[in-house]
Structure 1
Amino acid sequence: MAALDEPLPFEEFPNYLKTHKLVDKYDSSEEPKSPHPWWELDKRGIDAELKEFAQLVIDALKGLPDNDKELQHLLRAASALSQVERSPAIKVALIGAQGAGKSLLTNALFDCDGLSITGADGQACTSAITRYAHYPGENDQDGERYFFAEVRFFNAEKMETMINEHARSYYYYQNDDDSDDEDEPRVKSRRQDEQDRRAKDTAEDVFNTLFGSREKFLECWSPSAYKSGEFSGICQHKCDEAIAKLNLNSQRVATYMGNDQGKLLERIKPFLTKVKGEVCLWPLVDSVTVRFRHDLLQQGIELIDLPGWGDINLSRVRHAEDIKDSVDVEILVADTIRIASDDAVINNARAAITLRGAANVRLVATKIDSLTPNQLSQCSGPPYDRIKEMIQEAEEEENRAEEEDDIIGRDTITKYKSYLQRCLKQRKITDRANDITLEISTKFQGRSANDLPDIFHASASDYMDSIKKTKIKFADQPALSPSMTGIPAIRQFLFSLPAQKNLDDYSTHVNVLVPAFIEKAKRATTESDRDAGFRTLADEFDCMRHAFFKDFLSQTQCAFRNISKNCLDKMRADANTYKELVNKKLTKHWFALKGPTFNKILKCRGTVPQGASKAKGLENGCNWNKELSDLLAPGFQRSYIKHVECMHDMKRALSEALDHTHCRAIRMMDDSSANLVVVEKAKKKWMDVRPKMQAKLKVLMDRIDRIEKRTLLWAMMEGDRDNNLVSCITDGHYDAVFGAAPALKPNPNGKKNPGYVSPKIKFQRDIMAKLFLLDKDHFVDHIITHFQSEFDRIMNSVLAEHFDDVSKLLETFSATLRGQAPVDYMITQVGEDIRSELLRLIPTLEDKSAAMREKMPKRIKMEGGAAAPIPEDDIAISDNINVVDLYEKESKRKRTGEGSTTRVVRIKKASETAVKRPGYR
């Protein structure tokens, strides 16, 4: 927070009051941005010139023949040039407990009161994931500001999972049987736990909503209908019936609009939370995207408000965690009084830092203005004692002025006392913020200074008070000025996130795409550029490219699978040790629990939060999944470290493979039958492709680094993740054991509860032992196998996406070569005239292109840096590159200390090739 000035003496206060008696509404548009060339860029000027540039070409191409493919292509390209294509928005997630103040913080960040539902009524404000994104249309006209919302519903699979979980919670609450002695008469329900009650209440709300009333719900509900799956089928039909009444598109999205945020919120509120007296479909909602025009969103930010911690529906919690894993930046929000002591905040922050780095994680302490007069009166020491003394003196002067009936004097003194009280509050807020920052920094001891996330201290309520009225009287002014509320600082951080990305978008458009278009126009209008050798060269390049990519992807995926397998071999070799630990955990600890406690944990799928149950042994809660995960954590940690090391070798192997690709293409061009002029032009264009391939490789390795970290957190349950590796195996096991029961005793007399032929708890333990502890089908084996298969699946997907990207890059190069070739159709006289007009226009286009480049920053730091120079020696390249062999060579070189060995390579120079080629003209 900003440094505070000392309180003014009363003699100076009247001058202060003159300038602060009535203050203007805060204008966030005047807030400074973090220094970056993007903010100095003349974007409006460039946008205007791009439109003029495109319009000149479009006007010149009017009346072009429909069969003139070349000019048609130019027309499409010119239309696309009129606007800079922006990269995908940076996704920022707001994460925190229910009631932490995320919704009010959202309203403050967008200067938009009522945009997000706050928890003023005492319940969870939003139960659905809410996204705030830019609406790209020109929707602000005649002073109107339009708001749009896209409500996306779960697909059938996720909806079925959600229904089954709610039905399960309702069934086991109504039919609770945790008896340890089945021979004793069953008692209808011991005292229920709060967690069970909350889960039942939530399920009841969902089903009442789906069926229209509690009575209709109970007509369809019965234990037998639940067990047979009939009730789940009816609910699925009800879900489809409920959303079918909405105007959904093929993506299961309904769209709503409002002239302001309040009107839109009225329409979408039932999709966000429970609304009394209305049919609320929020349990069926995947996410709600609110779109409107705002500078922050327009810069390329998408803000995602995730439901607060504390949701007891596991399927919804895991869905939220999936969304969280996809974001670029995490902002963890917590109440000021809890942020330094809440383990959930600290643990989630550590996990986020591990995955994304501290630069992409921020902590926000909300409600910093939450101080009562009693709390302020307890402040002592300098400078509090002096300020309180000044307040006391002001009170005495106020009483004296009242006795003397000095109305004007008393009013000034009253305002002065109010001013001093604000100063006292500001001082306490500042000191408390500094103390919290210091305390949180100690929580991250052991990390470097670069691993400590920045902390913002925010008061959204005081900020909103500063923007509600055009003029704010002295008596209504909040204690904290807008700059002290922390909201401008958070907004400045958000604005800085997409700055470099936006600058790169403009740089690519102005420095690459516009000149490339001019080159296309020149080729279309200049006959001398139409050389048949380019098509020959393109055909030869395509043959090489297809041969090269035929096995490259499968080889790389195979190499990655081998690496992941090898990295887990140590864990497989130690499997017996892990099995012994798991066996001991189950037999000595879990199986020793009493029946009610054992069944309670099974019913909660292994996790009972502290304070959620009063069952014996669960006073402090328990987490079976975490216990298992902690036993296996050393193995996954070693596997992660080894995999990171292997990826260093793989990066060099893939880089060498790209070098092979580059050199093979050069060799193919040298050996081509095309003439020298064609070859040299093609080689010059090819030289621009290699840095792009290297940049894509860097992006790939960065993604792999994040995947490695994310899967490690997934396996080790960092941050108390509900979506974790162990639960993928245990959820089904827990359900199977909890639902298992021995056969009933013969019942010739038709007793209501004849009992079981053997104790139920012993039967359940035997079932659990079979599911977890069989030596040839052990839980540890399942975990290792599932981890590798899931890791390989993710890697295969990422590699396929990367290779597809590289393939498109090479296809573009091939198309560029073919664009140099002669057209294969007749050019009409109209086409000739248009080309002549376009030829006369080219100098003007070049001038405009140069003018736009002048507006760009002179030096732009490119992501990934410059590519390494190509060696001048000839590479001994085989026609079939094997990535596995390249990786083995790199890892062997590392093992034998040959990392710095120089490759003996040679690339023939073009001049040498030209001299030696027979028939050169």
Structure 2
Amino acid sequence: MDDFVRNKLLEWGLSEWVEKFKDEQIDAESLCELDDREIDNLITKAGPRVKFKKKLKLLKLEQEHEEAAGLVQEEQTSNQETVISFQCEQEHEEVPDVVQVLPSTSDTGKRKSDLQSDASRLQSPAKRQRQSMPGFAESIILSDVKNIMTFVHARLNDQDKLSAFLKKKISDLETDKRELVGVFGKTGAGKSSLINAIIEEKNLLPSGSINACTSVMIKLEANTYSSKYEAEIEFITKEEWNDELWSFHQFFCKNGDHETEDNDDYLDAVEKLSAVYGEEWKQKSSENLMESKYFKAIPEFLQSKRKILTCESANELCAKVVKYTRSDSKQGEGNEGKKWFWPLVKCVTVRVPNNPFLQHVTLVDLPGNGDCNKSRDQMWKGILGNCSTVWIVTEINRAASEKEAWEILESVSSLIGNGGKCQQIHFICTKSDLLDDSDDLSSADVHDLITERNVQATDAIKKEFNKQSKIRKHFTDDSFKVFTVSSKEFLKENYLSPEETEIPKLQRFLQDLNDCHSETVNYVTRAHRILSLIQGAISRGVDSKKGEVCEELERNMSLQLDNVRKEMEDTYTAFKKCLDDGVEKSKCSYGEKLKNFLYDGKNGGAFYNLLKCVVENGGVYKPKKGKPINLNMKLASCLIDSIGAEFRKTFLNEVKCGAFSGVINTFTLNADSLIEEYQNAELQLRFLKTEEEKIEAKLNRIIQKQMKKVYSSLTETVENIMEEGYKKALAFTGEDTLYNMRETIKNHVHSKKDMFEQAKNTMLEKLHDLMVYVLETLEKTMKESIGLSFKAEECLLPDVSTELKMVKKHYDLLVGTPDDEI
């Protein structure tokens, strides 16, 4: 056994197996050739064996990356100095546990060039650009660095402020959330084929004679922990299903046999009950239908657990998961006794192994209008509000005039726009290769016809978008893009090149999202900065000019905070002016809005049933077909419209700009410019730069989350005040019920017309609270960072040179070595 293998085992925390590997004469060459059977014989314990296999995979990947980039291999023996694992302190090399640090001492430590020399063998001789890595490789790196930082955290004492500060920074190391892309599209639009083509998994999502269920959300993510295809099924609660069964029972008892196929509520109830129970639900009580015998195939439902399906192939998983997400369009034709569990499912998360398009992105197949089930509807709203991009999928044939696609986009525009974080809408036209009467045409003619139609469809859709006034209140032309795609042509290339199918454009879009939101890169980068600060504090002090540095930093911070404060004050004034105008318009127009909804020739049983559904659900009703109705939003519409433009200006969803005219993103202590003047403080200043970026990212996440609450507060205030009126209206029975309901709602709004002023005040209060929090958090965080980086008294810090080298190696593997890297 050579030193390379020994050191690798020590680095991986597997020192007890060194002798076994030595006896079997495992060297560097044979190490990477070990198969599973040989590994099982070498390492007989399951825990260490699993750990070894993961580490070996990462080692192979590192070597592949180096070979691909044409890197020069390092001498194997050089690893001995750099790969001693933090988990093996008891080994032969002596490492000082702590070193006394005096921040005010002169520069007696290593300079930047020395630190670079120490780690030079871990770097490539040429600069590297980041390369795409398989998900499980990144997960191994992330796991390793987290373990290293956990070890460093344990070695830091609690005796001084700097150590406590560093411990907190390690504890607060965060990973970014995944980017969400919401996908809408009616059955038959080719949505499943589109997604399959984009992520290059031909048989993952089912299509064809199976109908999409409008209630079940499907999330697609990368499986970064296994090479298997997995589906995690989350059910609604037993109590929720019991409530639905009771509602169905009440509905049937009240309406008897008078329902027809024209009644959507009746058809919806029959479809759900037939899916779960077949024909057995008829003549059964809701209590009978909750008996455990009906759920033998899904015991997890009764146990309030999630069901996990694991398969070797996409095709196998597709066959297993279909009953939880879809309903058979030919139900009743030879499908007797076959159960479909989608009515009981809240969400299905499908995980695809090693998929480069889903590493840090989640595609979410969304129902069009939410759901009558409250938990499914809340999840739908939450996910929708967090989507950074929304795809509207429809067939290219009559795409511009496709009523359902535009209705979906209009109904969700406030949730994804001012009330969410959506940056882009992609209107995706599928089946662009399908032409009528093309059999007698040459390939060149077909190509030209497809290209011409795609151009015409794109122009028509953009013109239609310009007509959508409600949607354009939330989105500009720059945020709306049209794609004309062909999944079939992408695979077969009969008439179009791959690029002309526009599938690669959507793939590049997903890849860009992945590259910008790598949780592993962010974590490793921040961990590297923290370790650099610790080791820099050990190796040298800041010298006598530290007072000058602090004064300069605090002066810059004060000026920057003034800029933030001024922008926020201007924003508050602008919002108040807009809302004052909205209150006056609301008071003048609410009577007409109520009249348009409650009267205007709307009589008879159909409108009575509709109005009853509205008041039963607190002013909101979502029919299975057609536009959702929200009386609360109608009443608040003038207020919402009054702040629409100002809200978009203040809370731009574009990351490159940021909220409050970008004043948070442009906040800076000018640490980069100070490095040239105060070179001895370089490590501390670079750490402060990292702290700037971290707090800016954190505040932007908080602002994105809270701005939704600020925006929705207008409708929520109206909704809360209207609740009493809905309850009174619902209490009426008898011949004049419709008249009494109308008058009750009208009189309640008239008596509570000060609710518009209350809604204004609530929004301004939430906006003020958000501004105060952002300003105070920014000031407190940067003051603390400056103080503890430069003003800390004598303290004890551990030597982390070994850990720094290990993290640096991971860092270089992920992102390369920029010019200014330490």
2:269 corresponds to which residue? Answer: 200
Cα deviation per residue 1:153-207 (whole Å; 9 max; x = unaligned)?
34x5xx7566545643553355239xxxxxxxxxx7375634233222234336x
Distance in 2 between the 1:56 and 1:485 partners?
48
**How far is 1:340 from its partner?**
0.8
Distance in 2 between the 1:370 and 1:707 partners?
45
Aligned to 1:255, which of 308, 313, 317?
A: 308
Distance in 2 between the 1:854 and 1:112 partners?
28
1:548-697 matches, within 5 Å, as: 568-572=579-583, 576-582=587-593, 584-585=595-596, 588-589=599-600, 593-603=603-613, 625=630, 629-630=633-634, 632-641=636-645, 651=660, 685=684, 689=688, 692-693=691-692, 696-697=695-696
**How far is 1:436 from its partner?**
0.3
- Aligned partner of 1:773: which letter? N
**How far is 1:641 from its partner?**
4.8
Give yes or no for contact 1:57–1:75 (8 Å, CA) kept in 2: no
Give yes or no for contact 1:633–1:715 (8 Å, CA) kept in 2: no
- 1:99 maps onto 2:188 in alignment: yes
1:24 corresponds to which residue? Answer: none
1:245 corresponds to which residue? Answer: 299
Specify whether residues 580 and 342 from structure 1 end up closer, same or farther in structure 2 by C-alpha distance, changes over 3 A only. same
Query: After alignment, is 318-327 or 331-340 more displaced?
Result: 318-327
**How far is 1:333 from its partner?**
0.6
1:175 corresponds to which residue? Answer: 254
1:773 corresponds to which residue? Answer: 747
Distance in 2 between the 1:240 and 1:813 partners?
64
Q: Structure 2 unaligned segments of length 5 or more: list them.
A: 1-64, 101-146, 155-168, 329-334, 562-566, 653-657, 671-677
1:290 corresponds to which residue? Answer: 350
- Aligned partner of 1:200: which letter? A
How many percent identity over aligned positions?
16
1:129 corresponds to which residue? Answer: 217
**How far is 1:451 from its partner?**
2.4
Specify whether residues 338 and 821 from structure 1 end up closer, same or farther in structure 2 by C-alpha distance, changes over 3 A only. farther
Give yes or no for contact 1:696–1:806 (8 Å, CA) kept in 2: no
**How far is 1:117 from its partner?**
1.8
Specify whether residues 366 and 654 from structure 1 end up closer, same or farther in structure 2 by C-alpha distance, changes over 3 A only. closer
Aligned to 2:817, which of 856, 874, 878?
A: 856
**How far is 1:562 from its partner?**
10
1:457 corresponds to which residue? Answer: 484
Aligned to 1:273, which of 305, 326, 344?
A: 326
Give yes or no for contact 1:740–1:764 (8 Å, CA) kept in 2: no
- Aligned partner of 1:453: which letter? F
Give yes or no for contact 2:234–2:306 (8 Å, CA) kept in 1: yes
- Aligned partner of 1:283: which letter? P
Cα deviation per residue 1:94-146 (whole Å; 9 max; x = unaligned)?
1122222211112112222221121x225226742111112223x4xxxxx52
Cα deviation per residue 1:318-359 (whole Å; 9 max; x = unaligned)?
642432211111111111113211244345557388558996
1:740 corresponds to which residue? Answer: 731
Distance in 1 between the 2:495 and 2:570 partners?
62
Give yes or no for contact 1:333–1:364 (8 Å, CA) kept in 2: yes
**How far is 1:361 from its partner?**
2.1
1:524-539 matches, within 5 Å, as: none
- Aligned partner of 2:640: which letter? F
1:29-178 matches, within 5 Å, as: 56-58=83-85, 62-63=89-90, 76-77=151-152, 87-118=176-207, 120-124=208-212, 127-137=215-225, 139=226, 145-154=227-236, 156=237, 160=239, 164=243, 167-168=246-247, 171-172=250-251, 174-176=253-255
- Aligned partner of 2:817: which letter? M
**How far is 1:92 from its partner?**
1.4
Specify whether residues 247 and 220 from structure 1 end up closer, same or farther in structure 2 by C-alpha distance, changes over 3 A only. closer
Distance in 1 between the 2:72 and 2:152 partners?
16
Query: TM-score of the superposition, structure 2-length normalised?
Result: 0.61
Specify whether residues 764 and 445 from structure 1 end up closer, same or farther in structure 2 by C-alpha distance, changes over 3 A only. closer
Distance in 1 between the 2:476 and 2:664 partners?
33
SS at match of 2:212: coil
1:403-482 matches, within 5 Å, as: 420=442, 422-445=443-466, 450-451=477-478, 453-464=480-491, 466=492, 478-482=494-498
- 1:371 maps onto 2:385 in alignment: no
Give yes or no for contact 2:425–2:479 (8 Å, CA) kept in 1: no
Specify whether residues 710 and 580 from structure 1 end up closer, same or farther in structure 2 by C-alpha distance, changes over 3 A only. same
SS at match of 1:603: helix
Distance in 1 between the 2:393 and 2:350 partners?
21
- Aligned partner of 1:442: which letter? K
Distance in 1 between the 2:218 and 2:270 partners?
23
Q: RMSD of the TM alignment (CA)?
A: 6.2
SS at match of 1:152: strand
Give yes or no for contact 1:101–1:367 (8 Å, CA) kept in 2: yes
**How far is 1:93 from its partner?**
1.6
1:219 corresponds to which residue? Answer: 284
The structure having more radius of gyration, on CA atoms, is 1
**How far is 1:513 from its partner?**
4.4
Q: Structure 1 unaligned segments of length 5 or more: list them.
A: 1-39, 140-144, 178-187, 222-230, 378-387, 392-419, 467-476, 550-555, 613-620, 664-678, 717-723, 743-759, 825-830, 861-921
Specify whether residues 815 and 703 from structure 1 end up closer, same or farther in structure 2 by C-alpha distance, changes over 3 A only. closer
**How far is 1:583 from its partner?**
5.3
Specify whether residues 369 and 44 from structure 1 end up closer, same or farther in structure 2 by C-alpha distance, changes over 3 A only. same
Cα deviation per residue 1:896-915 (whole Å; 9 max; x = unaligned)?
xxxxxxxxxxxxxxxxxxxx
Distance in 2 between the 1:244 and 1:801 partners?
47
Give yes or no for contact 1:146–1:257 (8 Å, CA) kept in 2: yes
SS at match of 1:88: coil
- 1:762 maps onto 2:815 in alignment: no
**How far is 1:489 from its partner?**
2.5
- 1:361 maps onto 2:360 in alignment: no
**How far is 1:792 from its partner?**
6.1
Specify whether residues 763 and 370 from structure 1 end up closer, same or farther in structure 2 by C-alpha distance, changes over 3 A only. same
SS at match of 1:634: helix
Give yes or no for contact 2:586–2:638 (8 Å, CA) kept in 1: no
**How far is 1:364 from its partner?**
1.0
**How far is 1:449 from its partner?**
8.4
Cα deviation per residue 1:550-608 (whole Å; 9 max; x = unaligned)?
xxxxxx99999999778645444555424433554467537x62355323442366789
Distance in 2 between the 1:69 and 1:236 partners?
63
- Aligned partner of 2:364: which letter? I
2:534 corresponds to which residue? Answer: 520
Matched residue count = 648
Specify whether residues 292 and 559 from structure 1 end up closer, same or farther in structure 2 by C-alpha distance, changes over 3 A only. same
Specify whether residues 328 and 622 from structure 1 end up closer, same or farther in structure 2 by C-alpha distance, changes over 3 A only. closer
- Aligned partner of 1:774: which letter? H
Distance in 1 between the 2:777 and 2:807 partners?
34
Distance in 2 between the 1:135 and 1:622 partners?
37
- Aligned partner of 1:260: which letter? S
1:864 corresponds to which residue? Answer: none
Distance in 2 between the 1:160 and 1:787 partners?
38
Give yes or no for contact 2:182–2:389 (8 Å, CA) kept in 1: yes
Query: TM-score of the superposition, structure 1-length normalised?
Result: 0.55
Specify whether residues 166 and 489 from structure 1 end up closer, same or farther in structure 2 by C-alpha distance, changes over 3 A only. farther
